[in-house]
Amino acid sequence: MKSIALEEINPDILYVTSWQSTKEPKTDANKVCSTYRILYFKRGSGRLETNGGNFMCKKNEAVILPPLTNYSTSAIEKGSIIINVSYDLVKSRKLESSKINQTMFRSLNNHYIPSQFASERFIISNAPALNAPLHIKNFIPLGNIIGELHLEYRNMKRFYKLRISSILTELLVNTARMTEQGNSPKSSDIADRILNYVNENHKEKLSCRTIAEHFNYHPNHVTRIIKKSTGMTLYKYITETKIRYATYMLLNTDYSVTYIAHELSFNDCSHFCNVYYAATGMQPSEARKYRSAGQVVSCE
């Protein structure tokens, strides 16, 4: 993904639609958005769940979703009105917006989204909160801004594209400023989600890059958050977590060292032994000798 500054964006609004829920609350299947998207609750309430967090939205609140964000909706209150703004961050799309499917909650699989329909995704270097799903709340002018944007799009008066691009830019700038003042997810909350993810996926091949992509953050932003929260780098935390689980298996199971290395996604047995020795000062085979008969060692 390319990295740009917020000053470099030039939003191109593809469509603005209004949708009203006419059914009782229910949970919808997982979906994926092919463009940047803002879902604004003009009336009612509902929940959006993404890999970047769960958001319970009320009237005059919104969620910003980057392209290819997997999400699901649930508990959308009957009678809710949601305004959907679909846009590119820069004017680079070759196809006309009229050719883009405008169904608001259509279930899509990202493997089947043609590249020409997917927005180019960017890392906004100086506004990291905008790189991940973001819940906008406690922002009084939000309704007026979205309402003006929707009206301009519907009327399509002369120069309307320039106007709606300006309105959306204003919204994104105000949102970036607001998140810097403490209305974005706290760094400690983000750190907790990342650390929990590492523990729950300790058997996978983890890196700062893959974890940052999972949470839709820039790797440098993730590194800063984890360093501030734990006092160590994310790489070191991943290593210590894997070593902790490796020690648990060495002391509580009869699995071979080779099996443990494979189970924890080390490159090979030699790599595992080298990392284990660097972290503990002993080889895995030596650590196993400390096992006491009948003793159970926790990996916590």
Write down which residue in 183, 203, 223 finishes a domain: 183
Q: Is residue 298 part of a domain?
A: no
Strand blocks (E) in the chain = 2-4, 12-20, 31-32, 36-43, 46-50, 53-57, 61-65, 70-74, 81-88, 122-124, 134-136
Q: Is residue 217 part of a domain?
A: yes
Given this model, what pLDDT does residue 86 score?
94
Clarify whether residues 269 and 177 are in a common domain: no
Clarify whether residues 169 and 255 are in a common domain: no
Clarify whether residues 227 and 84 are in a common domain: no
Clarify whether residues 113 and 196 are in a common domain: no
Q: Is residue 297 part of a domain?
A: no
Clarify whether residues 144 and 46 are in a common domain: yes
Q: Is residue 293 part of a domain?
A: no
Given this model, what pLDDT does residue 98 score?
40
Q: Is residue 70 part of a domain?
A: yes
Radius of gyration for the chain, computed over Cα atoms and rounded to the nearest angstrom: 23
Could you tell me the CA-to-CA distances from 185 to 27, 128, 181, 217, 297 in Å, in that order? 25, 11, 11, 13, 36
Task: Say how many domains are in the chain.
Answer: 2
Write down which residue in 183, 212, 243 finishes a domain: 183
Clarify whether residues 20 and 143 are in a common domain: yes
Q: Is residue 295 part of a domain?
A: no
Mean pLDDT check: name the lowest of 23-32, 93-102, 186-195. Answer: 93-102
Clarify whether residues 45 and 179 are in a common domain: yes
Given this model, what pLDDT does residue 97 score?
43
Q: What is the pLDDT of residues 217-258, one digit of tens each?
A: 788 888 888 888 888 899 999 999 999 899 989 988 889 999
Clarify whether residues 58 and 114 are in a common domain: yes
Could you tell me the CA-to-CA distances from 233 to 62, 226, 275 in Å, in that order? 33, 6, 16
> Which tops the pLDDT comparison, 58 or 24?
58
194: containing domain: 187-288
Q: How high is the mean pLDDT of the chain? A: 83
| CATH number for the domain harbouring residue 55 | 2.60.120.10
Given this model, what pLDDT does residue 163 score?
93
pLDDT for residue 93 is more than 70: no
Q: How many CB atoms lie within 10 A of CB 177?
A: 12
Clarify whether residues 20 and 169 are in a common domain: yes
Given this model, what pLDDT does residue 11 score?
94
Clarify whether residues 78 and 144 are in a common domain: yes
Write down which residue in 183, 213, 248 finishes a domain: 183
Q: Which amino acid is at 39?
A: L
Q: Is residue 296 part of a domain?
A: no
State the burial class of residue 39 (Cβ atoms within 10 Å of its Cβ: 0-12, 13-18, 19+).
Answer: buried
User: Where residue 114 falls among pLDDT bands split at 50, 70, 90?
Assistant: low
Q: Is residue 300 part of a domain?
A: no
- Could you give the 3-state DSSP secondary structure of residue 76? coil
Pairing of the two strands 122-124 and 2-4 = parallel
Given this model, what pLDDT does residue 96 score?
44
Read off φ and ψ for residue 153, nearest 5 degrees.
Answer: -70, -40
Given this model, what pLDDT does residue 191 score?
84
The whole-number average pLDDT for the span 163-168 is 94
| CATH number for the domain harbouring residue 276 | 1.10.10.60
pLDDT for residue 105 is more than 50: no
Clarify whether residues 216 and 123 are in a common domain: no
Clarify whether residues 50 and 20 are in a common domain: yes
